[in-house]
Amino acid sequence: MNRCQYASEHNASERDLLRKRVSVIFQLSPHPKPCEYQMDLPLFPHFTLRLSLFSALLLLALNANANETVRGVILTDQLSHPWGMAFLSADEILITERVGRLRRFVNGKLLPKAIEGLPEISAIGQGGLLDIALHPDYPNNGWIYLSYVAGDGDGIGTEVVRGKLKGDRLQQIEKIFTLLPKSKPGYHFGSRIAFDHQGYLYITLGDRGDRPRAQDLADHAGSVIRLHGDGSIPTDNPFYNQKGKRAEIYSYGHRNLQGATTNPKSGAIWTHEHGPQGGDEINIIHSGANYGWPIITYGVNYGSGTPIGEGKAKAGVEQPLYYWVPSIAPSGMTFYSGDKIPQWQGDLFVGSLKFQLLVRLGIQEDKVISEERLFEGEFGRIRDVRTGVDGYLYLLTDADRGKLIRLENAP
Ligand SMILES: [Ca+2]
């Protein structure tokens, strides 16, 4: 008997106990392989039963270790709609606030004074100061990257600058990317910044609420951008030197990506994006690939529930690695690689704005094999999740009094 059968065939009291204590959900997603390693021993029913009970106890033990012992410590609740964070050292975290402030959290305290010298920022709707990332060689070169929304004559859009922190001022500011063309709506800006192991820089961009833009290669909106750290365009980008296409684009057909991280094992860039009503996705980003929006999606139109595009799949268009129906409204993503919560090492964490929870995904060979939902309603809308340089896992919550939270094993 395997665990899939176990769940459906065991007696009611044990099943209820399992339901109550085990919150690992085996997901019915495009590539589910949750049960393939289970044993099947139909010839020895008594042995099978014993094995099943042992498996259940093991699962309970694992779950207790994985879930009930991790707690959140609220380090501050004085952040205004924080969006992203970067760890300068074990003692200092930089945190962006959407309104356009970059804050310092030093030795356990949020400093009252924001960092000066930031570019002009349009804090409109979902826009403002968004993500922050450090260059992989930050200890030697000092480059800090910020994504934010700024305007020109045509409207607003996502931009990225880099600069160096001297005292409480950002200096040597260089603008390295501007989304073109800009437009009026105050939503779907993306944007996360991530570096791969070769030092290439990736910027995620929303469709700006105008669906066809995600399929238009003459338009940055709805794409993942790939650049060198100084903003120059790699000559091996898929649309480099192609007439009528923007050479910065690495992948396209995205709706609104507010999560991007590098898989520490493979070095690949993993992203997630908001679907419409249903159909939030996780994808692994490949050069030149079309991720489908708005041609294919697992979501439907808001309210009416009417279909979008041509269906759920199409030849030559990428399927998501994983998806959520209903939507969780994902923001922030990290592979946990710290040493302070050993039972979570290697798992992928995603924040949920809508359900105010943290999603923990078990990953095996570039597949999602399990989903667990943590801290539901406990902290608020989770905007970002990152592994700290001190080995803990950190959260930011989206609120007028947004929180910075450290997750740790309870003593
Ligand atoms: Ca897609």
> What's the mean pLDDT in 33-62?
39
Residue from 377, 381, 306 nearest 350 by CA: 381
Give 255's Cβ-side CA count (13 Å radius): 24
Burial of 36 (0-12, 13-18, 19+ CB in 10 A): exposed
**For residue 25, pLDDT beyond 50:** no
Residue 116 near residue 108 (C-beta atoms within 8 A)? no
Q: Is 135 a catalytic residue?
A: no
33-39, long-range: CB < 8 A, 24+ apart: 33/364, 33/367, 33/369, 34/3, 34/4, 34/369, 34/370, 35/2, 35/3, 35/4, 38/2, 38/3, 38/4, 39/2
pLDDT reported for residue 68: 54
Q: Which of 294, 393, 396, 403 is nearest to 66 (CA)?
A: 393
Position 283 confidence tier, pLDDT thresholds 50, 70, 90:
very high
Token pair listed for 114: 């924001």
From the CA of 180, how far away is ligand 1's center (Å)?
22
Ligand 1 centroid to residue 274 C-alpha, Å: 10
Residue of 188, 220, 272, 274 with catalytic role: 188
User: What is the assigned CATH class of domain 80-331?
Assistant: mainly beta
Going from the Cα of 322 to the center of ligand 1, the distance in angstroms, rounded, reads 10
Could you say which DSSP state residue 96 is in? Answer: E
- % the chain with pLDDT above 90: 82
Average pLDDT over residues 194-222: 98
Tens digits of per-residue pLDDT, 88-134? 999 999 999 999 999 999 999 999 999 999 999 999 999 999 999 99
The full set of domain ranges for the chain reads 3-66, 80-331
| Window from 59-68, 128-137, 188-197 with minimum mean pLDDT | 59-68
CA 391, 395, 396: angle at the middle one, nearest 5?
140
Q: In this predicted structure, which of 49-53, 223-227, 243-247, 274-278 has the lowest mean pLDDT? A: 49-53
User: Pick the residue with more confidence: 49 or 35?
Assistant: 49
Q: What is the CA(303)–ligand 1 centre distance, in A? A: 20
Stronger pLDDT, 153 or 381, i.e. the higher one: 381
Distance (Å, whole) CA 285 – CA 270: 6
- How far is 220 from 50, CA to CA, in rounded Å? 58
What's the whole-number average pLDDT of the chain? Answer: 88
- 308 alpha carbon – ligand 1 mean position (Å): 12
pTM higher than the cut 0.75: yes
Q: Which residues of 128-141 are buried (b: 16+ CB within 10 A; e: fewer)?
A: bbbbbbbbbebeee
Query: Which of 21-35, 201-215, 253-267 has the lowest average pLDDT?
Result: 21-35
Average pLDDT over residues 276-295: 98
Give the pLDDT score at 18: 35
Q: In what order do the strands lie in the sheet with 143-152?
A: 129-134, 143-152, 155-166, 169-178
CB burial string 173-183: b at 16+ within 10 A, e below: eeebbbbeebb
Q: What is the pLDDT, as a whole number, of residue 42?
A: 34
Ligand 1 mean position to 313 CA, how many Å? 9
Separation between Cα atoms, residue 411 and residue 408, nearest integer Å = 9
Region 241-259: mean pLDDT is 98
